[in-house]
Structure 1
Amino acid sequence: MNESFRSPTKFRAYTAAQFQASEHWKNLNESLRGTFLATTKVLPFRVNDYVLQNLIDWDSVPNDPMFQLLFPQPGMLSERDLWIVGRAMDGGSLEELNAAVGEIRRGLNPHPAGQMTHNVPTMGDEAVDGIQHKYRETVLFFPSAGQTCHSYCTFCFRWPQFVGDVSLRFQAKQSDELVQYLKTHPEVTDVLITGGDPMVMSSRSLERFITPILKETSVSTIRIGSKALTYWPFRFISDDDTKDLLSLFRQVVDSGRHLAFMAHFNHPREMKPSPVGEAIEAIRSTGAVIRTQAPILRHINDSPDAWAELWNESVRSGCVPYYMFVERDTGPSEYFKIPLVEVLQIFQQAYRRVSGLARTVRGPIMSATPGKVQIDGILEFAGRRMLQLQFLQARDPAAARQPLLAEYDETACWFDELKLLALAERQPELRSRMPEVAQ
């Protein structure tokens, strides 16, 4: 791979149709083109020049991890779904194609872990637009202007935000309802601004959403979830309103709040281009703290070497390793998922290769319906093997840090696939959600 950095003159993104018409289309062979055409009818696709020129090793396609992260692959849709889409593309009407695509999307579990059914709060009898409130202290906020990204990850569990179906999307056009909600919920200390990616917004738009939040004294932390350090680091270096953006970050810090920039890095290669280091320095100069997190994914980062390098590079760059997630059960998760026992082994082996400063990382973690479940290890007792788990966060705050035991299962890839053996007594909500619990 050419390690020299090539800087695009300006940001240029490609949708699926635009990519087919670009000079980059020649990089895909006939088989990959067929997969691309069918899969992008169902799942979102967006890429930009910076990513194409600097992050993908085109000599290693299709196995290159960054190519896997950005481009549709065989296996991301089932053979049945590919056949349905192909038939509708070849001989059906646009209405038939849209109906087929809609059916497939609904079957891909577009809103896992109770996002629609359990996370949407209400004021009076009305749902609050663009907000999720799952954990007592933390509210997620989805500003409408931030519901896209500089490029899309193939695994993204937020894929319904990007497919153009308004019924699947979380978004708020302003922060008025959020502010009113915060006034009536003083237990909320953290607001996580998410998307999409808030960093696609102009600084003026972002300021319009953030400034009202700063008037609420109960809020002590503002978090911003973003992939921009990978996909467009110039947002923090040389965009037309970069100075205004960094000034806004300083304003948040100067208000006495903690500003946590939640950076998504899936592979150590993402941190290699020199602009990434410059962007990290720019963000940190405002007083913000950068925390790094990602899911573990088959084909992309399913090795201890990748994670150890990623965590070490995070520390060298002044970032704090935060979470290793397990890929959520949504979208093309079948393609990426890894048995939990294997995930634990990868985490433990990587953890042993880093110093104490990188051991701030926690994982592996499943963001399941009842809460964030961490896999702690494998136990053997009286000749029986078990998985030891705990909740780092839970809908029921009393469940946090309570130990759980599950039957050892070499095939389980998600929390709902485990058979729990022990539950703390103060977990009626969790007990009611689990179909099989040994008493």
Structure 2
Amino acid sequence: MNPHPAGQIDLNVPIEAGAVQRGLQHKYRQTVLFFPAQGQTCHAYCTYCFRWAQFVGLEDLKFAAREAETLVEYLRNHPEVTDVLFTGGDPLVMRTSVLRRYVEPLLRADLPNLAHIRFGTKALAYWPARFLTDPDADDLLRLFGEIQAAGKHVAVMAHYSHPRELATPAAVAALQRVRDSGAVVRCQAPLVRRVNDDPAVWADLWRAQVRLGAVPYYMFIERDTGPKEYFKVPLARAADLSRRLPPAVGAVSQRPRPVDVGDARQDPGRRRDGDRGQAVLRAADAPGPQPRVGRPHLPRRVRPRRGLDQRAAPGLRRARLLLRRRARRARPTTRPGPSEHAGRDPPTAA
């Protein structure tokens, strides 16, 4: 079942002060992902989710951090980082008092490089009461306002998969309250067969988002992980669907980029001819030197996987082996170097 695809363990988990930082991922130069331990669950479980290893009770496969100080120190040592994304799981399953313990140290610290704080969540669709009537709903919105008052851009990366998730009065009111707090709501969703694999559905979804003051942002294609067979859309069909999407939704909304969760997007109108019939992709973002961004490349062909029970055990064993290798590579007195960051630029002076 490939619990950590695309080198998430061996390429993205940094080593700092001789310790593997299991609660951080640093793949793209400017962005660090932070996994607060108490936020590693969700309001519901999507079988196609590429983070499924966070939810199955195997602690040695889980990304989780319990101290904000680790994140603060990492940001001090890496002035190239401008963005922190709180992710999971879903960070908004946490009580606001717990979330504050992770956010406030970022606001108190002298981190001039930190410009953007983002929260990836499905709560606006699955549990709008989180922003309306939960006991700490008002405190959560105050926290968003405090982030903005501290001079940081705050964004809620909202997961909406279908326009019906925006059709209820509660969903509309929740989104409006988040916007009133000063946060920007950016919307993203995976392309899911039998749910939204229709250009008309995406057009309706984007129109609803723009009408409510949100920003259509990303369409995702699922990674090769988890029991996704029922929901997956072949890349060739996804590319065809992306070409049929409306170029804009009204005068103020640009078409979001269709990407996989590794930030590669279909190069419009380009396909490699021949028997393989491969699509041409471009990197919307990439680890390492920035000239790699926008460079055309061909997707790696993956043989379809069958029989989850036959594939699960080898995938879990490989993930555990990678974690043990990362721990052995850690050095107690050295800071991360280029070899430990798998091609990323070394840290530069502030």
- Shared fold by TM > 0.5? yes
Contact 2:186 2:217 in 1 (8 A): yes
- Tell me the matched-pair count: 300
Name the CA shift for 1:208/1:157 in 2 (closer, same or farther; >3 Å): same
Contact 1:373 1:389 in 2 (8 A): yes
Provide the aligned C-alpha RMSD in A: 2.1
SS in 1 for 2:267: strand
Rounded Cα–Cα distance in structure 2 between residues aligned with 1:390 and 1:399: 12
Matched with 2:83 is 190
Rounded Cα–Cα distance in structure 1 between residues aligned with 2:280 and 2:272: 12
Residue 109 of structure 1 pairs with residue 109 of structure 2: no
Q: Deviations over 1:85-139 (max 9, x none)?
A: xxxxxxxxxxxxxxxxxxxxxxx01111111111100113210131000011000
Contact 2:249 2:255 in 1 (8 A): no
SS in 2 for 1:341: helix
Matches within 5 A, 1:242-261: 242-261=137-156
Matched with 1:374 is 265
Name the CA shift for 1:380/1:350 in 2 (closer, same or farther; >3 Å): closer
Matched with 2:312 is none
Rounded Cα–Cα distance in structure 2 between residues aligned with 1:335 and 1:343: 15
Matched with 1:126 is 19
Name the CA shift for 1:308/1:115 in 2 (closer, same or farther; >3 Å): same
Matches within 5 A, 1:213-252: 213-214=106-107, 215=109, 216-252=111-147
Rounded Cα–Cα distance in structure 1 between residues aligned with 2:274 and 2:166: 45
Contact 1:113 1:367 in 2 (8 A): no
Matches within 5 A, 1:200-211: 200-211=93-104
Contact 2:42 2:93 in 1 (8 A): yes
Aligned residue type for 2:33: L
Contact 2:25 2:34 in 1 (8 A): yes
Residue 298 of structure 1 pairs with residue 193 of structure 2: yes
Name the CA shift for 1:203/1:388 in 2 (closer, same or farther; >3 Å): same
Contact 1:379 1:386 in 2 (8 A): no
Give the Å deviation of 1:381. 8.9
Which structure shows the bigger proportion of residues in helix conformation? 1
Q: Say which of 235, 238, 254 aligns to 1:343.
A: 238
Contact 1:321 1:360 in 2 (8 A): yes
Aligned residue type for 2:223: R
Q: Say which of 139, 152, 159 aligns to 1:264.
A: 159
Contact 1:378 1:386 in 2 (8 A): no
Give the Å deviation of 1:272. 0.9
Query: What is the TM-score with the length of structure 2 in the denominator?
Result: 0.81
Q: Deviations over 1:244-265 (max 9, x none)?
A: 1111000001111100100001
Residue 402 of structure 1 pairs with residue 297 of structure 2: no
Give the Å deviation of 1:336. 2.1
Rounded Cα–Cα distance in structure 1 between residues aligned with 2:207 and 2:170: 18
Give the Å deviation of 1:152. 1.7
Aligned residue type for 2:233: I
Name the CA shift for 1:172/1:309 in 2 (closer, same or farther; >3 Å): same
Which structure ranks higher in relative contact order (CA pairs < 8 Å, sequence separation ≥ 6)? 2
Name the CA shift for 1:305/1:143 in 2 (closer, same or farther; >3 Å): same
Name the CA shift for 1:416/1:260 in 2 (closer, same or farther; >3 Å): same
Aligned residue type for 2:157: M
Matches within 5 A, 1:134-145: 134-145=27-38
Matches within 5 A, 1:278-293: 278-293=173-188
Q: Say which of 283, 290, 296 aligns to 1:391.
A: 283
Structure with the greater alpha carbon radius of gyration: 1
Name the CA shift for 1:238/1:399 in 2 (closer, same or farther; >3 Å): same
SS in 1 for 2:280: strand
Rounded Cα–Cα distance in structure 1 between residues aligned with 2:234 and 2:101: 43
Rounded Cα–Cα distance in structure 2 between residues aligned with 1:169 and 1:380: 38
- Structure 1 segments (4+ residues) deviating >4 Å: 380-386
Query: What is the TM-score with the length of structure 1 in the denominator?
Result: 0.65
SS in 1 for 2:157: strand
SS in 1 for 2:186: strand
SS in 2 for 1:374: strand
Q: Say which of 300, 306, 323 aligns to 1:416.
A: 300
Give the Å deviation of 1:356. 4.2
Rounded Cα–Cα distance in structure 2 between residues aligned with 1:381 and 1:337: 22
Give the Å deviation of 1:374. 0.8
Q: Deviations over 1:377-425 (max 9, x none)?
A: 233799997633211110123344333154xxxxxxxx3218xxxxxxx
Name the CA shift for 1:340/1:198 in 2 (closer, same or farther; >3 Å): same
Task: Identify the range of structure 1 (126-135 vs 348-357) with the bigger mean alpha-carbon deviation.
Answer: 348-357
SS in 1 for 2:57: coil
Rounded Cα–Cα distance in structure 1 between residues aligned with 2:23 and 2:95: 19
Contact 1:327 1:336 in 2 (8 A): no
Task: Identify the range of structure 1 (272-281 vs 353-362) with the bigger mean alpha-carbon deviation.
Answer: 353-362
Rounded Cα–Cα distance in structure 2 between residues aligned with 1:337 and 1:261: 26
Give the Å deviation of 1:181. 0.8
SS in 2 for 1:287: coil
Q: Any stretches of 5+ residues in structure 1 without a counterpart?
A: 1-107, 407-414, 419-431, 433-439
Rounded Cα–Cα distance in structure 1 between residues aligned with 2:127 and 2:75: 32
